[in-house]
Amino acid sequence: MKLKNRALGALAGMVAFAALAVPAVAQDRAYTEGPVSVVSSIRTEPGMYDTYLRYLQTTYKPMMEEAKKAGVILDYAIYDREARGPDEPDLYLVVTYKNMAAMDGLSDKMDPIQQKYFGDPAKRDAAMIERTKMRKQLGSETIREMVLK
């Protein structure tokens, strides 16, 4: 019985030591985790570049501004890019969130905003189909800023 108690005591001591050592390890990092951005790669269809940018101005921008005002996103941006080939993007749409946790339940946060601009889900789907005439989404990636201390 004494041996069992000693073993449990030693194990508890090791766990406590490990728990105290974790903050020290975290302090040794040369960075902190910063905001998270979702970068969507877009290729406009031939002759639709200006039309798509007008769409972004009239629908996307007001929606993003409202999401920003509501605190759902930190910021958004649109970047032009010179595509080197037909299968490369000519635009990047970038939406920045405070952190990964800000993306939890994102649909629930964005649904009321999208409803205001598109209406019910059927109208949203129709708008998505209409957008495919102007552009093709080639993919997206999530990136995190690493802020050096």
Using a pLDDT cut of 90, give the percent of the chain over it. 70
Bridge partner list, 144: 36
Confidence of residue 17 (pLDDT cuts 50, 70, 90): low
> How far is the C-alpha of 87 from the C-alpha of 84, rounded, in Å?
8
pLDDT of residue 8: 47
Q: Does position 67 have pLDDT exceeding 80, yes or no?
A: yes
The pLDDT score that the predictor gives to residue 112 is 93
Mean pLDDT for all residues in the chain: 88
User: Which two tokens mark 31?
Assistant: 């960075």
Determine the angle formed by the axes of helices 121-131 and 106-118, rounding to 10 degrees. Answer: 80
pLDDT higher for 12 or 101?
A: 101
Tens digits of residue pLDDT in 122-143 = 888 888 888 999 999 999 999 9
CA distance 60 to 41: 15
Please give the residue that has the higher pLDDT: either 21 or 40: 40
Residue 37 contacts residue 143 (beta carbons within 8 Å): yes
Whole-structure pTM value: 0.78
pLDDT at 15 over 70: no
Domains of the chain with bracketed CATH: 31-148 (3.30.70.100)
